[in-house]
Amino acid sequence: MPRAFPPPRLATAAVALALLAATPVPVAAFCGFYVARADTQLFNHASQVVLVRDGDRTVLTMANDFRGEPKEFALVVPVPTFLERGQIHVGDKAVIDHLDAYTAPRLVEYFDDDPCRRMVYDMAVPAPAAAGATGGQARARALGVTVEATYTVGEYDILILSARESSGLETWLTENGYRVPAGASRVLGSYIKQNLRFFVAKVNLAEQAKLGFTYLRPLQIAYESPRFMLPIRLGMANADGPQELFVYALSRKGRVETTNYRTVRLPSDAEVPLFVKDEFAAFYKAMFDRAVDREERRAVFLEYAWDMGWCDPCAADPLSPKELRDLGVFWLDAPAEPGPRFLAPAQRPTRAVDVFVSRLHVRYDNEHFPEDLVFQETGDRTNFQGRFILRHPWTGKPDCDEGRRYLADLSLRLDQEAQTLANLTGWEIATIRRKMKLDSPPGRESRWWEKLWGDGR
């Protein structure tokens, strides 16, 4: 029966995602673009978005890892409808972190038993995971910009804008102290043609000081629209390279996938060498880099798809009904009972949580993702998890034929693990074999030049 060990997993998961973002850029963004009041270089790199969807109703939660001064933060996001004050909320980043941990790709660990005892038991180790302003109304009207509403929500000042032309909107933003990235005008124009409005947020420093938060909490908006999409093109306007985006979609029917880009599954269930346990962050990054290249940088990757009521093995506890409500799962009542914890299949709850989660990971840029992400909810409730396997060999001395065959086959299995790792990551096979202490490919001694440079595979 699989057993789970949550603390190591959570630590490794954090490392894995931290490394993905470990490039020399200071901020991350998502659906919109950040605009700064100073000349500080702002870039987008990675972001996390939670999409709750049922029918035409959507709750969008946007987390960011903005690392600059709060006074420099501002955000512009296209939205399909006008938003009233009550449709805007400030969320809790800890809940998103929990969802990230629950859905993260993981490493599981098994131990071979004595082959002569004809009995097997397994041990599973879950492992790593994983992202305003106002001007004079007259001037705004002259530019074709309408400030439809202004709100203060938590530590944010919010504007809802509409515009007739991108040039007028760009001018209005510039005159009101926002630095609009080069290239944004064309994208703004396309959203205006679709009759989208613009959700503009900046930090109210006085409110932030009053509330006592030293970080920026996620923004949430709720709206009704037949459009099930996520605008990403503005997020590329001030990007200095490909962006990482994690989308956690919570639905009632089943898996969520993109309709205008291919959704493919992350490589999974591969057996890899034991040393990967200490290098899982580097492994995950290299594996994902290679997967992206193999799909010609035009795919969205499914990393996890599961009924929220349980998990096996669990990388983290399933979210509680309260946490799901906090993320905007509006069809749930607000029960007080806690969510199930680390349940094996036989211990699954009898009461359905009625929430299915899909974790999507996309690396996008202008060249390969010229359109916003468009989604659909499917009826597919097939479970999937990005999972990689460590299998510890049995180390005893065999006293039966089956045991001797086990040892005879072991070197072939270990070499296959080395080749699998090389194929997944592009790492040098000779280096992998050295780390595994495999002196030579199974069946023969290494030649002297292979010991010097590897065998070239």
pLDDT score at 378: 96
Q: How far apart are CA 247 and CA 132, in angstroms?
A: 25
In tens digits, what is the pLDDT along the chain, a chain of 457 residues?
333 333 223 222 222 222 223 222 333 344 545 443 323 233 346 689 999 999 999 999 998 767 677 777 788 889 999 999 999 999 999 999 999 989 988 888 888 888 887 543 334 343 344 433 344 677 888 889 999 999 999 999 999 999 999 889 989 988 888 877 777 888 899 999 999 999 999 888 888 888 888 778 999 999 999 999 999 888 777 667 888 899 999 999 999 999 999 999 999 999 999 999 989 889 999 999 999 999 999 999 999 999 988 887 788 889 999 999 999 999 987 555 444 444 554 444 444 578 999 999 999 998 999 999 999 999 999 999 998 999 999 988 888 888 888 988 898 999 999 999 999 999 999 999 999 988 655 555 666 666 666 654 4
Per-residue pLDDT reduced to its tens digit, 118-167: 543 334 343 344 433 344 677 888 889 999 999 999 999 999 999 999 88
Q: Give the model's pLDDT for residue 441.
A: 53
Task: Note the pLDDT of residue 184.
Answer: 81
Q: Which two tokens stand for residue 74?
A: 């501002």
Phi, psi of 128 (to 5 degrees): -55, 155
Distance (Å, whole) CA 66 – CA 21:
12
C-alpha–C-alpha distance, residues 228 and 230, integer Å: 7
Contact call for residues 26 and 43 (beta carbons, < 8 A): yes
Cα torsion 243, 244, 250, 254 to 10°: value is: 100
User: Residue 366's pLDDT is what?
Assistant: 87
- DSSP letter for each residue of 403-448: HHHHHHHHHHHHHHHHHHHHHHH---HHHHHHHHT--SSTTSPPPH
pLDDT tens digit string along 368-392?
999 999 999 999 999 999 989 999 9
Q: What is the pLDDT of residue 452?
A: 65
Contact 68, 44 (CB under 8 A): no
Structure tokens at 298: 């035009």
| Residue 425 tokens, joined | 């990551």
Can you say whether residue 166 is alpha, beta or left, with left for phi > 0 and alpha for psi between -120 and 50 degrees? alpha
User: Which pTM was predicted?
Assistant: 0.79
Residue with tokens 């100073």: 38
Which pair of tokens denotes residue 305?
A: 């798809």
pLDDT at residue number 3: 37
H or E element: which one contains 384?
Answer: strand 384-385
* Beta strands 106-111 and 387-392, pairing class: parallel
Sheet containing strand 256-258, strands side by side: 229-230, 373-377, 256-258
User: Under DSSP, is residue 21 helix (H, G, I), strand (E, B) or coil?
Assistant: coil
